[in-house]
Structure 1
């Protein structure tokens, strides 16, 4: 969990403002949910490994004996927890407020979440998530809207050239069925396949054998991984998708991906920045269909991702509702965005002598603020250069010297070089 100095905070807010503006331009509406949710909801088996990283909140009024008695039972000790993502709270929000929402609801959530991570570069215990979700639309239009809005946001941040790796959980299931993996071993097999980018084909097949996966299935999967057709680059479409899949996969999910590609191409003037990745897994167990990740040539890791989770809301509502979401990795993106004018208007430091009356200083400051400037008062020090350098670091762009009796017309505003 981190502190942010003024310049860092201003930079983050500028990026957040662009994200909000682009999302709203695409028809999404912002909501807010509490930072805490019921312990049972956060640990309902829908949050994947994130549930293990949840910060649980101790029940009020427990004495030492009660704590010791419940040492092996989290539910006995905690009735609340800090949210570890924004999707579980959104599902609860929709179930609670459905009667006041449109049939197809497009939401924005931009807020901090908490996970008991082992801190390292790019991983924090408190971090910002920027989510857009569409609830109530089972068609590929929802995926297309999310993808177009996310790519447009990346472009608006000056990060043109982004692309989307895309897959479908139904295709993954179909592949594992063709290879011969039994249903009960598939969750573990997917965990291993998800490591393909890190440990390579040999590492994946070796780990599958260590897991005790069906030998014939591992052999079939290994042969498929090394077939030359996978190395042939094709534009996104039916040919690319089919070339990357084994024979025997049903057409439904393939057709759905092709339709999404066509919709994205129409929105982006023929540009289809989609890449079919048959081994894209994404670890969240609640995904039921399309899954995707946001890639950019400037970094090796993904800058966001999401997918369809049609079964989650039904857990809270008692009735299934289609849903799909996309989350931008704000903490990674904010470090890639080029520095700019954080203020968008004049930012002036008034450097004054000690004997300037307070009334005169406040009057000068108010006059400049009324003109649209951002103004800071600083008493002159011996090290004027250091004072101005610090002001520049805080985003100020100009300064003026103030002496007793000065009026607004007397100020000579100079740029901070």
Structure 2
């Protein structure tokens, strides 16, 4: 039976990567890992599967609705029918694929706290899964790269996190990055000042988070349903801030932040951001800026203090983000543990970077005659590999131009013709390849 082309494509929302794509991804991985390790972070690994109940414990916000569940083994028709009737998902699934790396990290820390230092700095890199509606830039399987500082209650954690993350973007050649920074305490202070009742705060922030999608008028329109007068007051604040955000932005200083906020609103959050800005002055690499953005919300409800997102002129969406989530780990331990995390939008930055010219061992293609003896080819290849080269055997073909262009495109820099009977590696003539 002939299979249709659509039947051999990857599942919808997931992707294959050709060698050139994989090489660029591995380059990004290596840069990220090196920079974060240089900043004192240690890599850990967690399972891709977690308990279903843990993934649906209210820690993951809206992402919980997008999680993939794994059916229990041995379910019969009666069990499936009973679960369908009651709507109880846990009758069907006891495990699920992780939808982010923060929930697994929280479980990991709760499991291994006694074996870890008082302040633990972690790196996690790996795939996660969400039942997204596939579209450009959104996939059902994608890679997340996270660093977290657990156990440090002071703003030193944010300073380390922002410093290390900014260095990653610089090392990847992504200049022009702007870190938009806010504090959840400023957001709640603004809502209080404008007159929103405390019980409406979470709903109000969900609406404000739509600002880039529906605009200020749309946001104020939805907020009027919660409190018309409070919505108008917040609208006036947004109207005053908008020109500053559209211009050069708002520096992360107490004076600049206070100038765009109502007098006395969220003094603790303002002081926190100003101190972070002062600590990072002269530390961030060239081409990276910190800017205050009072409209930044980040949709995850577990954030408790500093929040940030990273914008790059080459991307229409954020290329990173994170914040402080002091209450999450306590859900596992029974006591609060301070924590701050940062996630890089790996799939987006890979689209923005270029793979640098190879600086490692020279890559050599041995183009051999069809009748060259396997033993001779194996001997030549082993000798070149032992000298530090990357080596590939390529059978000679009629169209040599196409062959050489292909291996050059795949990163090979030199080639040698190997005739039948050749076995002396020193006699090979290594010739230059041009990409």
**Structure 1 residue 345: Cα displacement:** 2.2
Is 1:399 the counterpart of 2:415? The answer is yes
* 1:46-195 correspondence to structure 2 within 5 Å: 46-71=59-84, 72-195=87-210
Q: Does the alignment pair 1:277 with 2:290?
A: no
> For 1:45-104, what per-residue CA distance to the aligned partner results, in whole angstroms no more than 9, with x for missing partners?
110110000000001111111011112111111110000000000000000000000000
The 10-residue stretch of structure 1 (267-276 or 363-372) with the greater mean CA deviation from structure 2:
267-276
Corresponding residue for 1:302? 318
Match of 1:24?
Answer: 37
Task: Give the secondary structure class of the aligned counterpart of 2:207.
Answer: helix
Shift of 1:393: 2.6
In 2, are the aligned partners of 1:14 and 1:342 still within 8 Å (CA)?
Answer: no
Shift of the alpha carbon at 1:10? 1.2
Cα distance between partner residues in 2 of 1:97 and 1:229: 46
Q: What is residue 38 of structure 1 aligned with on the other side?
A: 51
Shift in Å, 1:268: 3.3
1:267 aligned counterpart, secondary structure: coil
Distance 1:240 1:391, change over 3 A: same
Further displaced range: 56-65 or 247-256 = 247-256
Alignment deviations for residues 254-295 of structure 1 (CA, whole Å, 9 cap, x no partner): 111111111111523899821100110000011011100112
Higher deviation after alignment, 254-263 or 226-235: 226-235
Deviates more, 1:353-362 or 1:130-139: 353-362
- What residue ranges of structure 2 are gaps of 5+ in the alignment? 1-13
In the alignment, the residues of structure 2 paired with residue 335 and residue 173 of structure 1 have an alpha-carbon distance, to the nearest angstrom, of 36
Deviation at 1:199, TM superposition (A): 2.2
Q: Is the 8 A contact 1:28 1:106 kept in 2?
A: yes
Secondary structure of the residue aligned to 1:320 is: coil
Per-residue deviation, 1:191: 1.4
Aligned 8 A contact 1:265 1:271 in 2? no
The 2-side partners of 1:176 and 1:215 are apart by 13
Taking structure 1 as the reference length, what is the TM-score of the superposition?
0.96
1:108–1:132: 8 Å Cα contact kept in structure 2? yes
Distance 1:8 1:52, change over 3 A: same
Counterpart pick for 2:226 among 201, 209, 213: 213
Which 5+ residue runs of structure 1 have no aligned equivalent? none
2:356 — aligned with what? 340
Q: How many residues end up aligned between the 2 structures? A: 415
Question: Cα RMSD (Å) of the superposition?
Answer: 1.7
* 1:384 Cα offset (Å): 1.7
Matched, 1:3 2:19: no
Asked if structure 1 preserves the Cα contact closer than 8 Å seen for 2:24 and 2:354, the reply is: no
Following the alignment from structure 2 to structure 1, what is the Cα–Cα distance between the partners of residues 143 and 400?
37
